[in-house]
Amino acid sequence: MKRREFIALLGGAAAGLSLATSARAQPDRVRRIGVLTHLSESNPEMQAWLTAFREKVGQLGWQDDRNVQLISRFTAGRSDQLPVMAKEIVGLQPDVILSHAPPATVALQRETRTVPIVFVAVSDPVGPGFVANLSRPGGNLTGFLTFESGIVGKWLAMLKEIAPSLERVALVANPKTTNFDYFLHAAVAAAPSLTIEVVPNRVETAGDIEREIGTFAEKPNGALLLPPDGTVTRNHQLIVTLAARHRLPAVYPFRFLATAGGLMSYGIDHSVMYRQAASYVDRILRGERPADLPVQTPTKYETVINLKTAKALGLSVPSGMLVAADEVIE
C-alpha cells in the first residue's frame, strides 16, 4: 500500500471513530427515563435526591428536554397507586426506569421483564427476586443497596451504648413497604450478644404506630429501632413525638430523621446513592445491560447524634460516640 493511501485510510478510520463517539455523546433521539417512588413530589428529601440525580445525569451528557426526558410519578404513600403508575410508566416506553424502594420495584417488575430498571433504597434485592445475585443480576434489574443486614447489629449496639440499661427494643415498620422479616431476622440474631429482647411491631397506619409504641412503652428499659420504611418516613414526626413522650431512645436509618428531632441515625447519604444510580442509567442508555451491572453495596455510612434530644431524654452520650459521629446536633 502506498504511503498516501495509508494516510487516507488512517484519516478515514479516525473520522469514523470521531463520528461514532459523537453519536454516543449526542444520541439522535430523545431518551426517556422513568422515575417511580412511593414518596410525595413535595417531599423535601425526595426533591433533594432527584436534584442530585438530575445534576449527575446532566454531567454525563444528558440534558432535560434536549436529549433526555424524565417521566416521574409519585404515589405520596398511596400503595394502591403503585401498580397503576407502574403500568403507566411502562406504557410510555421509557429506555430505563429509576425505582425507589421495594414496593415501587415490585410493581415495575410485574409490568415488565424487558425495560431496564435501576433500583435504589432496596436492602434485600435477592429475597424478593429482583436479581439472581448481587454480582450478576441476570435480568432487567440492577441497582444500589441501602443497607445490608449486618447494619442492624450496629443499630442495636448504638442503642445499648447510649442506654446501657436497655433490655427491650421495638422494631417498628410496615411489612407492606419494607422487607420486615429481613431486618427482624438480623435483629434477632444480633440481640443475644447485647442481652436485648427484640419485639416486632408491625404497623401500617399512624394509628397503628401510636398504639404499638404506646403499648411497648408500658414496660421499662425499652428503645425503638426504625429500619428504612416508607411508612416510617411519612410518619416520622409522629414517631419522634412519641419517642419523646414515652422517653424512648431511638435509632433511625437516615440523617433527616435525626435533624427532625430523632435521637440518632446511622445510614447512607441518599443523594450520593442517587448520583451513583445516574451513572448506571447513563451506562444503560449507552448500551450496557442491567444483567451485567453488579448491584452496588454502600461504601460509607454517616452517624448523626442529636445532643439536644439526648439531654431531653436524660441520656448522657458517651464521649466515644460523640468523637465518632459525623455530625452532632447541639
- Mind listing the pLDDT tens digit for each residue in 290-327? 999 999 999 899 999 999 999 999 999 999 999 999 99
Architecture in CATH of 151-267+301-329: 3-Layer(aba) Sandwich (3.40)
Mark 90-127 as b/e (b = at least 16 C-beta within 10 Å). beeebbbbbbbbbbbbbbbbebbeebbbbbbbbbbbee
Whether residue 53 has pLDDT greater than 80: yes
Residues of the chain with CATH 3.40.50.2300: 29-146+270-292, 151-267+301-329
pLDDT tens, position by position, 181-210: 999 999 999 999 999 999 999 999 999 999
Residue linked to cell 437516615:
254
What is the pLDDT, as a whole number, of residue 22?
37
Whether residue 4 has pLDDT greater than 80: no
Give the predicted TM-score (pTM) of the model.
0.85
Distance between CA atoms of residues 301 and 171, nearest Å? 21
Three-state SS for 192? helix
Distance between CA atoms of residues 200 and 76, nearest Å? 26
Whether residue 154 has pLDDT greater than 50: yes
User: How many C-beta neighbours within 10 Å does residue 326 have?
Assistant: 14
CATH number listed for the domain at residues 29-146+270-292: 3.40.50.2300
Closest CA to 305 of 257, 237, 268, 246: 257
Mean pLDDT value across the chain? 91
User: How many C-beta neighbours within 10 Å does residue 3 have?
Assistant: 7
pLDDT confidence bin for 77, thresholds 50/70/90: confident
Q: In this structure, what C-alpha cell is assigned to residue 50? A: 432527584
Looking at the chain, the whole-number percentage of residues with pLDDT higher than 90 is 82
Quick one: average pLDDT of 233-258? 96
User: How many C-beta neighbours within 10 Å does residue 221 have?
Assistant: 13
Distance between CA atoms of residues 307 and 322, nearest Å? 9
Single-letter amino acid code for the residue at 103: P
